[in-house]
Structure 1
Amino acid sequence: MSARIASFAEFYPFYLTQHADRMCRRTHFIGSSLALACIAAAIGTGSAWWVLAALVAGYGGAWIGHFYYEKNRPASFAQPLYSFRADWVMYWQMLTGKLTW
């Protein structure tokens, strides 16, 4: 991605092209699910270590998907805020069956 994209509406279609490989989407989904579980554990236990675990799980799943399956550079390196938002939109679309995982 050479030029910065000005809106999320422009960014999300690009984001999906960076997640064309089904296994990449799956590792994202698994990592995001584990991150949510870690956040719940952080709230339940009051331990901040679970927040760190959430970051490792979420980004770990995404990076495994990109570097191992998709063989591309994560969009979060260039557009971190849009990428964070897009990851959760993609997660919701996979959860609700609008996007295959």
Structure 2
Amino acid sequence: MTTATEHRPHAGHEHTHAGDCGHASVEHEGHVDYLHDGHVHHGHGDHYDECSVAGVHVEAEAHEYSHADGCGHEAVTHGDHVDYVHEGHRHAAHAGHYDEH
């Protein structure tokens, strides 16, 4: 996990994240991380830093449909379950909702 002594800038990020930007977010160690294009980052000055929320439960946005074989989203085996690639990030079914992975 990234600590205060580690600094890993995310290069080439043109999108500005905010509460209404459409990307999943999670409070993490005193800042807000955004899940975007298969990785996690947070604002730091004039750029974004890479971060990790491994082990943190992050619920995805609400879905009006269920992911399954043939739903039109890429299925990726992940440990003991299947993630579905959806709008640039991965979702996994969990207890009546989807989690970000």
Per the normalisation by structure 2, the TM-score is 0.27
Which protein shows a greater Rg? 2
Higher normalized strand content (fraction of residues): 2
Could you say which structure has the greater relative contact order, defined with CA pairs below 8 angstroms and 6 or more residues apart?
Answer: 1
